[in-house]
């Protein structure tokens, strides 16, 4: 018999003689025990005046209700079992943390070795007694009354099961009596196999390799030996079976999970179990020796990360969400409705009781919680955060327990949530970088201001819905004082960028347009705005319903990352939103579904509004002016139809990016837990760029795991009711001819209900000039020949510009639009041109240095004695030249007020002389040239006189010079006797002409100034050159030049005096 091993079935049904003999021995033993019990009773009866024992037992249980079979079954099989968590698709995540880890096992899964070990050790008569062993009870009573040093106990497996599941842990005679009663009733109602299975799932087994308390044989097998419950060898089974006698005394693990240096007590207990198994006939001699030689220490399980270790953010979040749902489930099961309880205190008391019950149930009821989280995407995004190198951590100093300052690193934290647009399922999230630092989920629990991410959800979505705005309608970025009690509102750059459309204002995230256009909605549609905030789901995440304020578009409302992402799914779904959720369903330990998420679509705004908001948000990413126009597309590894919005809060404490495509919406946040400022620049990148980069990296990580979900090829489809219209950008109305002329016609999208039907009337036709590169409306005094016709803004059209000059806010790229500001006027007459150059057929000049000169007048004289006539007017934007053949020209500069400078005269070629005799000989030609030169000298002299008295004096000198020239000419020409009279006549004519010229010069010089000293100098040079053959003539010419230089000096002095006087007048 020693070498024979019996299975469980054999143990239950053995019929061999040995068993019969043993059965006889057991029957005799029972009779003997009953006899002893009878003797004891008789003794006690005699001692306590008869029958006291029976009465005492009855008194102990008389007030105890007798449970029926259903009550017993409900309590016995109500194991404290850990809740299991599963990813989307059913992949096991781990157990919900609980005081005790326990997982149910069915009897046919359990190793025969373990069953034999437990029965041999704990209750060798299990399959024969009816719940109690009288001998054991008598022995226990004797030890108790005699206060024996050794207390062996007398509980069967059935009694231990009852004690664990139905009774308290107190040790009294009352409880022992009830235990006996319940054990007998349990044996009456249940089969032995059911009782054994219940016991093996209930009994405690100390700690596992993680230091966690365990109960039930499955948790023991896996937690102590990392072995499946069906594969335990004899030594392992014996070690586990010995633990229930002293679970924490025999366990090999400390509370920390470390292996104890000495757990010999557990090993000794194992040997005892092996001996009993051998004596019981469950193992052979050889199996006994092998079991005793097995090295338990070397085969203990290694610590394994728990769900809280491996997925701390996720496990904690699941627990938090489950505890929000379970109280309602438990109250529904009990038909409790808090709304029926009128008393507040009573209602709170009931609520608290069910919340406590939910805590217990979550730890003990063995629920299965199925999540929406995609394991692969979740893991990939956690890894992406770990590998991201652009976090700007900061160094700080803290005081330790010893009062010393020590350096510490403050982590720049992040959070992100990715939601399936259609279903509302949260497919992934990032709760932070370090759970241990602040063990809460920043994605679902941290309330942070959302910054400019609120603009599309408030101003633009609501404005598009009411028709107050459309993407192509103007949203001015101009000073706005009706905010914050008149304090005014500025943009982040403290500038105003002027007139722009709603589309551009959103793409560039301008503050002023967002608030300015939100104010009418607050005043006229406040209830609609309040309802929208609730429909976005914001009321789920704050204590009271959210209320809109003027600052709401700027993101002053505190939101979680989940709330922000969920709100934007309304845009992706063309106006409809589904509440976000993470728990798909909860099943009880029997597999019955006790909770299942049921979502419904919430209409926030029309599909047309949803599409218009979406389309404007595309420009944030894909338009050059968009606030995310670079980093997103540069970082993403794939293409999809994305739209998005950036966000920054005051003092740069939070940075956001929310992006969406047809399938998913993801919101990402960057900031510090202590609300300190973000780094303006880190490794050459600002906080917003780093946030966008992280958002894109998280998308890339998700795309690698599920490209069809994360990067769909499909684009957003227009829902209908959207029209594309040509509009005048400045007004959003149908283009007028003036709008076409100004180049302000653009095409944009409209809700067909709000498409423009009237023609633009915001523009007017004006005459304008250009000053300093800028266009200005012409003055009344501006000569019309120097203006051009253009288009300007009718300032009265804009009600927001009552006290503002609208021209200051016209965008620079509106090149063809004329400012309504009048041309500047400095009140001074322009100076004459410095130089006019000649060419074969005309003249040219440089631009006047005075910016207010808007054009030039060109004058021409065809003959020497002819008067100047205006022949051309040249505008500021034309070529500065004129071609008209030979003759005398003069050019003047004209300013914005029509003031004209003095002429700058010049000669092109020469005048033709009709009296000149071409047949004269060379001598006559020489005399004639000398005469002409003298005449030119006189003319040059007269032109250089500015002061009347100075001119007369100079003319007298010139007359004397001319007489000398005549004498010299007559002397030089004595050889030409035939021409003497002619020469004398010519000389007399020249002298007369000189006198007349001098008189005319006197009159003209009193009226205007001449700056032609160089002409006179040139004329004298000509006389000198033409009289080369005549020494006397050369001498006279040289004398003339000297006199003229002195004269020029005088003229220049006079001219400077006059200019100084003129400047003084202008300054006055």
Tokens of 128: 């024969």
Q: Is 1009 exposed, middle or buried (0-12, 13-18, 19+ CB in 10 A)?
A: middle
Q: What is the pLDDT of residues 896-905, one digit of tens each?
A: 999 999 998 8
Q: What is the pTM of this model?
A: 0.72
Per-residue model confidence (pLDDT) at position 100: 86
Give the model's confidence band at 795: pLDDT under 50 very low, under 70 low, under 90 confident, else very high: confident
Per-residue model confidence (pLDDT) at position 444: 97
Give the model's confidence band at 864: pLDDT under 50 very low, under 70 low, under 90 confident, else very high: confident
Q: What is the pLDDT of residues 566-589, one digit of tens each?
A: 999 999 999 999 999 999 999 998
439 Cβ neighbours under 8 A, 6+ residues apart? 312, 316
User: Taking 80 as the threshold, does the pLDDT of residue 1036 lie above it?
Assistant: no
Give the model's confidence band at 544: pLDDT under 50 very low, under 70 low, under 90 confident, else very high: low
Give the lowest-confidence range in 47-56, 70-79, 1008-1017.
Answer: 1008-1017
Containing 758, the helix (H) or strand (E) segment is none
Q: What is the residue-averaged pLDDT of the chain?
A: 81
Per-residue model confidence (pLDDT) at position 468: 94
49 C-beta neighbours (distance < 10 Å), count: 8
Residue 740 vs residue 1063, higher pLDDT? 740
The DSSP line for 939-971 is HHHHHT--SHHHHHHHHHHHHHHHHHHHHHHHH
Q: What is the pLDDT of residues 203-232, one digit of tens each?
A: 999 999 999 999 999 999 999 999 999 999
Give the model's confidence band at 27: pLDDT under 50 very low, under 70 low, under 90 confident, else very high: low
Give the model's confidence band at 14: pLDDT under 50 very low, under 70 low, under 90 confident, else very high: very low
**Residues forming a β-bridge with 564:** none
Section 305-309 average pLDDT: 82
Per-residue model confidence (pLDDT) at position 829: 96
**Residue 1011 phi, psi (nearest 5):** -115, 35
Per-residue model confidence (pLDDT) at position 153: 56
Section 660-684 average pLDDT: 97
Q: How far is CA 255 from CA 208, 216, 310, in A?
A: 9, 18, 19
Residue 392 vs residue 154, higher pLDDT? 392
The DSSP line for 998-1009 is HHHHHHHHTT--
Task: Report which DSSP code applies to 573.
Answer: T
Q: What is the pLDDT of residues 679-725, one digit of tens each?
A: 999 999 999 999 999 999 999 999 999 999 999 999 999 999 999 99
C-alpha dihedral sign at 797, 799, 802, 805: negative
From CA 368, how far away is CA 92, in angstroms rounded?
A: 10
Section 627-654 average pLDDT: 96
Residues 497, 498, 503, CA angle at the centre, nearest 5°?
Answer: 85
Give the model's confidence band at 367: pLDDT under 50 very low, under 70 low, under 90 confident, else very high: very high
The DSSP line for 10-59 is HHHH--SHHHHHHHHHHHHHHHHHHHHHHHHHHHHHHHTTSSHHHHHHHH
Q: How far is CA 688 from CA 390, 392, 444, 445, 656, in A?
A: 11, 12, 22, 22, 7
Give the lowest-confidence range in 178-182, 453-457, 544-548, 936-940.
Answer: 936-940
493 Cβ neighbours under 8 A, 6+ residues apart? none
Give the model's confidence band at 993: pLDDT under 50 very low, under 70 low, under 90 confident, else very high: very low
From CA 716, how far away is CA 611, in angstroms rounded?
A: 8
Minimal CA–CA distance to 306: which of 104, 92, 105?
A: 92
Section 849-862 average pLDDT: 95
Per-residue model confidence (pLDDT) at position 78: 79
- Beta strand 213-215 with 100-101: parallel, antiparallel or unpaired? parallel
Give the model's confidence band at 755: pLDDT under 50 very low, under 70 low, under 90 confident, else very high: very high
Section 1034-1041 average pLDDT: 39
- The maximal CA–CA distance of the chain, rounded, in angstroms, is 197
Left (φ > 0), alpha (ψ -120 to 50) or beta: where does 26 sit? alpha
From CA 77, how far away is CA 72, in angstroms rounded?
A: 8
Section 40-46 average pLDDT: 58
User: Taking 50 as the threshold, does the pLDDT of residue 910 lie above it?
Assistant: yes
Q: What is the pLDDT of residues 476-504, one digit of tens each?
A: 999 888 776 667 788 989 999 999 999 99
């Amino acid at each position: 018999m020693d070498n024979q091993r019996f299975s469980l079935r054999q143990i239950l049904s053995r019929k061999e003689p040995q068993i019969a003999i043993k059965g006889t021995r057991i029957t005799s033993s029972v009779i003997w025990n009953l006899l002893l019990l009878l003797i004891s009773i008789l003794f006690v009866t005699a001692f306590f005046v008869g029958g006291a024992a029976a009465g005492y037992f009855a008194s102990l249980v008389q007030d105890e209700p007798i449970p029926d079979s259903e009550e017993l079954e409900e309590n016995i099989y109500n194991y404290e079992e850990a809740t299991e968590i599963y990813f989307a698709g059913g992949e096991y995540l781990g157990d919900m943390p609980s005081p005790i880890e326990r997982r149910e096992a069915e009897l046919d899964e359990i190793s025969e070795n373990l069953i034999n070990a437990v029965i041999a050790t704990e209750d060798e008569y299990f399959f024969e007694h009816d719940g109690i062993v009288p001998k054991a009870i008598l022995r226990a009573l004797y030890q108790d009354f005699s206060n024996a040093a050794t207390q062996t106990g007398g509980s069967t497996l059935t009694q231990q099961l009852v004690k664990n599941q139905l009774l308290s842990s107190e040790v009294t005679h009352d409880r022992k009596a009830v235990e006996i009663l319940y054990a007998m009733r349990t044996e009456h109602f249940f089969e032995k196999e059911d009782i054994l299975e219940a016991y093996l799932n209930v009994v405690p087994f100390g700690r596992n390799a993680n230091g966690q308390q365990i109960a039930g044989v499955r948790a023991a097998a896996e937690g102590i030996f990392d072995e499946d419950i069906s594969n335990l060898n004899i030594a392992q089974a014996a070690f586990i079976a010995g633990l229930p006698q002293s679970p924490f005394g025999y366990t090999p693990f400390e509370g920390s999970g470390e292996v104890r240096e000495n757990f010999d007590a557990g090993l000794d207990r194992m040997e005892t179990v092996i001996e009993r198994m051998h004596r019981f006939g469950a193992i052979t001699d050889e199996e006994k020796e092998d079991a005793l030689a097995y090295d338990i220490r070397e085969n203990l399980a290694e610590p394994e990360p728990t769900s809280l270790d491996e997925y701390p953010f996720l496990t904690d979040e699941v627990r938090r969400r489950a505890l929000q749902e379970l109280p309602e489930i438990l109250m529904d099961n009990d038909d409790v409705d808090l709304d029926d309880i009128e008393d507040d205190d009573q209602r709170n008391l009931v609520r608290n009781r069910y919340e406590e019950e939910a805590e217990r149930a979550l730890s003990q009821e063995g629920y299965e919680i199925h999540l929406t989280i995609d394991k692969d995407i979740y893991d990939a995004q956690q890894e992406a955060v770990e590998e991201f190198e652009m976090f700007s951590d900061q160094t700080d100093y803290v005081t330790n327990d010893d009062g010393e300052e020590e350096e510490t690193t403050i982590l720049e934290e992040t959070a992100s949530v990715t939601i399936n647009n259609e279903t509302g399922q949260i497919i992934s999230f990032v709760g932070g970088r370090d759970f241990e630092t602040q063990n809460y989920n920043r994605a679902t629990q941290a309330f942070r201001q959302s910054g400019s991410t609120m603009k599309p959800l408030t101003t633009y979505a609501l404005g598009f819905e009411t028709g107050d705005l459309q993407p192509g309608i103007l949203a001015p970025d101009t000073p706005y004082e009706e905010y914050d009690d008149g304090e005014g509102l500025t943009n982040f750059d403290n500038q105003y960028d002027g007139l722009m459309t709603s589309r551009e204002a959103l793409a560039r995230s301008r503050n002023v347009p967002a608030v300015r256009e939100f104010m009418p909605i607050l005043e006229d549609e406040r209830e609609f705005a309040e309802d929208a905030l609730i429909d976005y789901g914001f009321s789920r995440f704050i204590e009271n319903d959210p209320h809109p304020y003027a600052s709401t578009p700027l993101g002053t409302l505190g939101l979680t990352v989940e709330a922000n992402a969920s709100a934007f799914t309304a845009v992706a779904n063309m106006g409809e939103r589904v509440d976000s959720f993470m728990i798909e369903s909860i099943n009880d330990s029997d597999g019955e579904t006790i909770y299942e998420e049921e979502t419904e679509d919430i209409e926030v705004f029309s599909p047309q509004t949803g599409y218009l908001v979406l389309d404007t948000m595309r420009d944030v990413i894909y338009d050059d002016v968009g606030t995310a126009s670079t980093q997103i597309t540069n970082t993403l590894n794939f293409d999809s139809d994305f739209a998005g919005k950036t966000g920054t809060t005051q003092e740069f404490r939070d940075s956001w990016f929310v992006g969406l495509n047809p399938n998913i919406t993801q919101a990402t946040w960057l900031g510090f837990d202590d609300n300190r400022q973000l780094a303006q620049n880190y490794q050459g990148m600002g906080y917003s760029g780093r946030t966008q980069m992280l958002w894109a990296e998280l998308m890339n990580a998700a795309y690698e795991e599920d490209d069809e979900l994360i990067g769909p090829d499909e684009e957003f489809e227009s829902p209908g009711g959207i029209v594309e219209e040509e509009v005048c950008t400045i007004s959003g109305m149908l283009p007028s001819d003036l709008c076409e002329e100004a180049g302000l016609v653009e095409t944009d999208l409209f809700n067909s209900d709000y498409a423009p039907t009237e023609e633009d009337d915001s523009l007017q036709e004006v005459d304008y000039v250009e000053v300093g590169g800028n266009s200005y409306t012409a003055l009344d005094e501006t000569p019309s020949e120097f203006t051009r016709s253009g288009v300007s803004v009718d300032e009265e059209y804009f009600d927001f510009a009552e006290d503002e000059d609208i021209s200051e806010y016209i965008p620079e790229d509106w090149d063809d639009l004329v400012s309504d500001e009048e041309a500047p006027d400095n009140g001074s007459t322009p100076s004459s041109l410095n130089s006019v150059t000649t060419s074969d057929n005309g003249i040219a000049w440089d631009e006047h240095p005075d910016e207010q000169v808007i054009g030039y007048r060109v004058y021409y004289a065809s003959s020497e004695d002819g008067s100047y006539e205006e022949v051309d007017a040249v505008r500021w934007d034309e070529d500065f030249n004129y071609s008209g053949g030979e003759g005398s020209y003069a050019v003047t500069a004209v300013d914005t007020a029509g003031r004209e400078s003095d002429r700058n005269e010049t000669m092109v070629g020469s005048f033709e002389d009709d009296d000149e005799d071409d047949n004269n000989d060379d001598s006559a030609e020489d005399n004639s040239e000398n005469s002409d030169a003298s005449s030119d000298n006189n003319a040059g002299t007269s032109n250089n006189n500015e002061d009347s008295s100075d001119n007369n004096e100079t003319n007298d000198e010139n007359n004397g010079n001319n007489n000398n020239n005549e004498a010299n000419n007559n002397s030089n020409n004595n050889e030409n006797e035939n021409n003497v009279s002619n020469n004398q006549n010519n000389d007399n004519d020249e002298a007369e002409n000189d006198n007349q010229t001098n008189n005319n010069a006197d009159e003209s010089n009193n009226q205007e100034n001449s700056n032609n000293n160089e002409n006179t100098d040139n004329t004298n040079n000509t006389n000198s050159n033409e009289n080369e053959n005549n020494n006397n003539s050369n001498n006279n010419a040289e004398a003339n030049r000297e006199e003229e230089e002195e004269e020029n000096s005088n003229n220049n002095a006079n001219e400077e005096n006059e200019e100084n006087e003129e400047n003084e007048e202008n300054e006055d």
